[in-house]
Chains A and B, each alone.
Chain A
Amino acid sequence: MNKTAPTRADTRRYFRRLSRYYLWFTACLGLFLVALSILEKEGMPRQWIGHLYMFATISLYATIGVVARTSNVSEYYVAGRRVPALFNGMATAADWISAASFISLAGTLYLHGFDALAYVMGWTGGYCLVALLIAPYLRRFAQYTIPDFLAARYGGGTGNRGTTVRAMAVAATIVVSFTYVVAQIYAVGLIASRFTGVDFSVGIFLGLASILVCSFLGGMRAITWTQVAQYIIILVAFLIPTMWLSVKFAGNPVPQVSYGSVLPKLAQREAQLAVDPREIEVRATFRARADDYAKRLAGLPHSWEAGKVEAQRSLDLARGRNASLGEIRNAERALLAYPRTADEAARTWAAERDANLARAQPPEPHAEPFPGKTRAESDIRRNNFLALVFCLMFGTAALPHILMRAYTTPSVHETRVSVFWTLFFILLIYLTMPALAVLAKYDIYTAVVGTDFSSLPTWVSYWANVDKANPLVSIVDINGDGIVQLAEIAIDGDILTLATPEIGGLPYVVSGLVAAGGLAAALSTADGLLLAISNALSHDIYFKIVDPGASTQKRVTISKLLLLAVAFIAAYVASQKPADILSLVGAAFSLAGSTLFPALVAGVFWKRANHQGAIAGMIGGLLVCLFYMLHTNPMLGGDAGAAWFHIAPISAGVFGVPAGLATLVAVSLLTKPPSRASTGLVEHIRAPEGL
C-alpha cells in the first residue's frame, strides 16, 4: 500500500477482501476434514492421517509466510499498522492461547475443579487492564516496541535517550518471553512426536521450520495473517469434540449452556463415590502405603540399609530357587531403582508418601469453592485463589508479545475495539474449557468407574502406552476386585484435551484435528514470542543503542538474523527437556507484572513519574518477586513453610507488583520531576484522537 492514509472506503474494501480469504480458508478446512474422514473410513492408517495433518498445516503456515514476506521496516515490525480490529483480535487471541491453555487448562480444571477457575478469571480479566490502562496509549505513541515507549517516556542517560530504562525493559522482555517460548517449542515437539511417531527432537525442528519460514520472511505482517488462520484451526479443533460430548450427555450442542444440567448429576455421582465401600477400601490401601513410607522415613538411615539388604536378598533368593526370568528381572529392577544414598531415599520416599497420601483423599466436589476441613484452611485456599488471579491479570497486562500487538491497528479506536475482539475470541475457547472438564469428568465417573477391568475403553491403553516411564493414564486394580474404582485411576491433566475425541468415541480424524489445534496454539504463541525477543534485540539494542545510523534495510536484516539465532537457542534448550524452565512458566506472569506493569501504567497516568522512579520501580518489583520465589519454592531451594500469609510461590507477583509501584512512587517523589519532553509526550498520548 502507498504511504497516504487510506480512506474509509479503502479500509472497508480491505476488510471485505480479508474476510473473503478467511471464509474460503474455513471452507477448505471443512472440505479437508470431510475428505480425511472418508479416507479413514476407506481404511487409511492412523499414522498417515497424523502425517497429513502435520504436513498440511505446516505447509499452510509456510505458504502464508512466503506470500506475506516483506523487508519494509513498518511492515516487518508492526504489519504496516493497518490490521483491522477484528483480525487483530483474532491474531492476538491465537498469540495468547498457548500450548498450556489449549492442552493443559481443561485437564487442570478436571483435576482441581473450582480452584482452577482462577486461570479462567485471571487470564481473561487481564484484558481489562490492557484495554483500559495500556494498549490505546501505546497505539497513540505509535512506535515499535514496549522498551521504545518506556525509553521515550522516562528518558534519562546520555542525551536523555533513556538507554538504561530501555536496556532494563529489554532484559525483562527477554527473560519473560524466553521461558515462555521454550515451553511452547517443547509442546510442539511433544505433539509432533506423539501424533506422527517422529523423534521428539525431530518434532521440535519440524515445528521450528514452520515458525521460521513465517516470521523470518514476513515478521509481524506474516505472523499476523498466519495467526488468524491458526486461530480458526484452534477454534474448530476445540469446539468439535466438546460439542459432541455436549450432545451426548445433555442433548444440546452448545456446551457453555448445556453443562449446567450435567453439573448436578456430577455432584450426585461424586457424593455417591465418596461413601462407596470399595472406594474407601482402595483409599485405605493408599493410606497404608503412605504410612509405610512415613515409617521408613522416620527410621532413616537404618531403614535405608535394611531395605537395601532386603532387595539384594530377594534377588539372591529368586536366583537361588531358579525362579522364572520375569521374577528375576523384577527383583533386579527393584534393586536398581533402590535409592543410592540415604539422602536420596529421604527425598524419594517423601515424594512417594505425599503421592500416596494424595490418592487416599476422597474426591473433592467439583463445583464447591474452597473445601477445607476448617474455616482457616478454606480461607487459605481462598486467599491463594485471589493472589493467583491477581498475578495472572497483572502479568497478562505486561506481556510484551501481547502489548506489541497494540501497535498494529490503523487507529487508537481500532486498538480499543481490537482488545474487545481479542477477549471475545479468547472467551469462545475459555468459556468452553470448564464445560469440557465437567463433561469429560462425568463421562469418566460414570462410564469408566464401575466397569470391568477386561472391558476398559481403548483410549486408556493407548494413552497408557504413549510414555511408558511416566504413564499419562494408569488404572491398576489395587484391591483386586476386577472392577475399576475412581481411586484406582491416576490421570495426567495434559492428556484430557488431546484424548477427548477418543473419550467421546469420535473417529481418529478428530483426534488428529485436536492435535493440529494444539500444534497451532503452540506455534502461534511461539511466533509472537520470538518476534518480541528478536525485535527487542534488533530494534532496541542494535538500532537504538549500538548503531543509531543503521539503514532500514540493515535493521530488518539484523532482525531476521537475530530471530534465527534466538529460535535455534530456544529449540536447543527445549530439546534438553528442562523440567525447571517448564515449571517456571507460571512464574513468568509474576515476573512480567512486577517489573513492567508499574512503569507502563505510571508512564501514562502519573506525570510526575520520572526516570529514577521507573528504574527503581522495575528493580524493586523484580527483587521482591524473585526473593519471594527463591525463598518459598522448594524446587528453587526455598522453604514452603516460610511463605507469607500462606501464599504459594507462583503468586509472588502479589507482593512484587505493589512493591514495584510503591518504589516507583517513592523514588519519583524524592527526585527531580521529569523533563519537559516527558511531560509533553504524556500530554500527546492522552490527547483525544483525531487531532
Chain B
Amino acid sequence: MPTEPATAPLSSSGPDPRRARAVDLRAQHWARARRLVALLLGLWLATWFGTVFFARDLAHLSVFGWPLSFYLAAQGSSLIYLAIIGAYAWRMRVLDRRYARLLEDAA
C-alpha cells in the first residue's frame, strides 16, 4: 500500500524493498488468480460429473416438462459453463486492474 514509499529512500543497502514489494504483489495476484481458477474449475467439474453420475436419480424430477437430467445435459450444464467463463473474465479484469495499479504505485 502507499505507506511503502516512506521507507524506500533508506533502502540503498541490502535487497531493494521496492523490488521485494513488487515480487510480493505479483505472488499475491497469482495466488488469487489461481484460487479463482480452482474454484471455478471445481464448479465446472461438479456440473458435468454430477449431471452424468446422478442422471438416473435426477430423471424422476421434472422442470417445465423436461426430466431434470435431460435438461441439465442438454442445456443447463452448458449455460453454467457460460456463466463460469463470464464470471472468470469479469473477476480477472477486476483483479488485473487492482494489481496493475498497486504494482505501478510500488514502482
Contact = CB atoms under 8 A, between A and B. Distances in A.
Interface in A212-264: 256, 260-261, 263-264
Contacts of A393: 48
Contacts of A382: 52-53, 55-56
A378 B44 CA distance: 24
B100 interface: yes
Contact of A131 (B63, B74, B88): B88
Contacts of A333: none
Contact of A431 (B47, B51, B63, B74): B74
B52 A389 contact: yes
A417 interface: yes
Contacts of B93: 413, 416
Which range contains the number of B residues in contact with the other chain? Answer: 35 or more
A510 B84 CA distance: 36
Contact of A132 (B41, B56, B70, B71): B41
Contact of A420 (B33, B41, B69, B89): B89
A188 B65 CA distance: 38
A416 B52 contact: no
Contacts of A132: 37, 40-41, 44, 84-85, 88
Interface in B54-107: 55-56, 59, 63-67, 69-71, 73-75, 77-79, 81-82, 84-86, 88-89, 92-93, 95-97, 99-100, 103-104
B29 interface: yes
A430 B78 contact: yes
Given A114-B73, A427-B79, A427-B82, A690 B59 contact: no
A378 B56 contact: yes
Given A416-B92, A688-B96, A128 B70 contact: no
A386 to B, nearest CB: 5
A412 B33 CA distance: 14
B48 A417 contact: no
- Of the listed residues B29, B30, B63, the one surrounded by the most CB atoms of chain A closer than 10 A to its CB is B30
Interface stretch (A367-375, A484-492, A532-540): A367-375
Nearest to A424: B82
B55 A370 contact: yes
A92 to B, nearest CB: 13
A124 B51 CA distance: 14
B64 A121 contact: no
Contacts of A120: 73-74, 78
B78 A369 contact: no
- Of the listed residues B30, B64, B81, the one surrounded by the most CB atoms of chain A closer than 10 A to its CB is B81
Contacts of B40: 128, 132
Contacts of B88: 131-132, 416
Nearest to B34: A605
B69 A128 contact: no
A423 interface: yes
Contact of B56 (A128, A370, A686, A691): A370
B81 A420 contact: no
B49 A128 contact: no
A429 to B, nearest CB: 11
A670 interface: no
Given A413-B96, A688-B96, A369 B56 contact: yes
Contacts of A77: none
Contacts of B64: 260
A211 interface: no
Interface string A145-173: 00000000000000000000000000000
Interface in A401-434: 412-413, 416-417, 419-420, 423-424, 427, 430-431, 434
B26 interface: yes
A688 B65 contact: no
Contacts of B97: 688, 690
Contact of B74 (A117, A417, A686): A117
A263 B59 CA distance: 13
B66 A260 contact: yes
Nearest to A115: B73
A389 B49 CA distance: 9
B85 to A, nearest CB: 4
Given A263-B70, A382-B53, A691 B103 contact: yes
A505 interface: no
A493 interface: no
- Of the listed residues B51, B64, B78, B100, the one surrounded by the most CB atoms of chain A closer than 10 A to its CB is B78
Nearest to B63: A260
A385 B73 CA distance: 11
B29 A688 contact: yes
B90 to A, nearest CB: 9
Nearest to A371: B56
A265 to B, nearest CB: 9
Contacts of A683: 26
A131 B65 contact: no
A72 B58 CA distance: 55
A428 to B, nearest CB: 11
Given A416-B93, A423-B85, 15 more contacts: A117-B70, A117-B73, A120-B74, A125-B47, A125-B48, A131-B88, A263-B67, A368-B67, A386-B53, A412-B96, A413-B92, A419-B85, A688-B95, A688-B96, A688-B103
Interface of B: 26, 29-30, 33-34, 37, 40-41, 44, 47-49, 51-53, 55-56, 59, 63-67, 69-71, 73-75, 77-79, 81-82, 84-86, 88-89, 92-93, 95-97, 99-100, 103-104
25 contacts: A117-B70, A120-B73, A121-B52, A124-B81, A125-B81, A127-B81, A128-B44, A128-B84, A132-B37, A132-B85, A136-B92, A260-B63, A263-B65, A263-B67, A367-B70, A382-B56, A389-B48, A389-B52, A413-B93, A419-B89, A427-B82, A686-B29, A686-B30, A689-B100, A690-B97
Question: Nearest 8 pairs between A and B by C-beta?
Answer: A260-B65, A690-B100, A369-B55, A416-B89, A117-B73, A688-B96, A434-B74, A688-B99
